[in-house]
Structure 1
Amino acid sequence: MRKLQTIDAAEAGAVVDAAAARATEMGVPQNIAIVDEAGHLVAFRRMDGAKFISIEIALAKAFTAAGARKATRDIAPVTIPGEPGFGIQNLLGGRFTTLAGGIPLKLGDVVVGAIGVSSGSTQEDHVVAQAGADFFASGRPGQQ
């Protein structure tokens, strides 16, 4: 029998805080979503000034990163016309996205969740998500 590893609410909240701190430094208010390994929402923050239309995009980025077990920006190159993944964005009722800003959260080699960020440019979204992922990888979640 396998033992399931997943991110908990305290860890997810700490990752949101770390990502929000980076977004504040950049002056780019963001929507920040944390999901568990199955893509279910664990924590979410819409920073003051973040675009409301980007809420669903942040959720989709986190969902995709958890399910694909890779950063959303790394999926994009294989989904352009002529590549084997072309059209995959049409699956899962629009919840699958290749926009940068979704990154899996791992304990060792095991994906235990993911972060999705949206409201800036895709580059800004990725930088903020990476700050959250780096914080999680540092082993400090829940210790703020």
Structure 2
Amino acid sequence: MTPKLLFSSFVSVALLSSLPAPAQAELPSIKILSAQAALTIGQAAYDACVQQGYHVSVTVVGGEGQVVLGLRGDGSSPHTLENSQRKAYTARTFRVSSGEFAQRVKDNPTSGQAHLAGVIAIQGGLPIKLGDAVIGAVGVSGAPGGEKDEACAKAGIDKAVDQLK
């Protein structure tokens, strides 16, 4: 290696090593909904409705709206699995219950949000929170009325409260 090339390499290394590290060099930490918590929530929501004689489907979605658990219950109507998924996706997307979203749409019918793919303005979906962070959502469909679907969804979240810390 020639002295000129050696000196040039030394200067390059010295300059690079003296640059400050980027402020955002660390990866962000995110909270996720575990598969075990999703199973607990989904099973408890399903059980709560079955105990009342309702034939329902339950979907639990994760933080990015992806399906973590889908359960089409015995005797539930064909559309209930899709509706439960859309309710969960809506609750996750807007960070509020799908019933609250339905009220927003009713109050502002010209809002285009109700026409987004995968969204539905029907009660029965609840966000799953870890502190203030929404890490997923659960949707229930098939009980006689959205308020009953939502009560089952809440029972599911309540059952997993110890897993959501």
The answer to whether the superposition gives a TM-score over 0.5 is yes
Instruction: Find the residue that maps to 2:119 and give its secondary structure.
Output: coil
Correspondence 1:1-144 to 2 at 5 A? 1-80=27-106, 83=108, 86-92=111-117, 95-120=118-143, 121-136=145-160, 138-140=161-163
Unaligned 5+ segments in structure 1 are: none
Question: Shift of the alpha carbon at 1:55?
Answer: 1.2
Please state how far the C-alpha of 1:140 moved relative to its aligned partner.
Answer: 4.4
* TM-score of the aligned structures, taking structure 1 as reference length: 0.87
Q: Deviations over 1:39-59 (max 9, x none)?
A: 000011111011111111111
Of structures 1 and 2, the larger Rg is shown by 2
Question: Greater relative contact order (Cα 8 A, min sep 6): structure 1 or 2?
Answer: 1
Closer, same or farther: CA 2–83 of 1 in aligned 2, 3 Å: same
Residue ranges of structure 2 left out of the alignment (5+ in a row): 1-26
What fraction of aligned residue pairs are identical, expressed as a percent? 28
1:2-43, Cα deviation, whole Å (9 max, x unpaired)? 211111211111111111120122110210000001100001
CA distance in 2, matches of 1:36, 1:140: 14
Count residues with an aligned counterpart.
137
Secondary structure of 2:46's match? helix
Q: Secondary structure at the match of 1:128?
A: helix
Tell me the TM-score normalized by structure 2: 0.77
Asked whether the equivalents of residues 59 and 85 of structure 2 are also in contact (C-alpha less than 8 Å), the reply is: yes
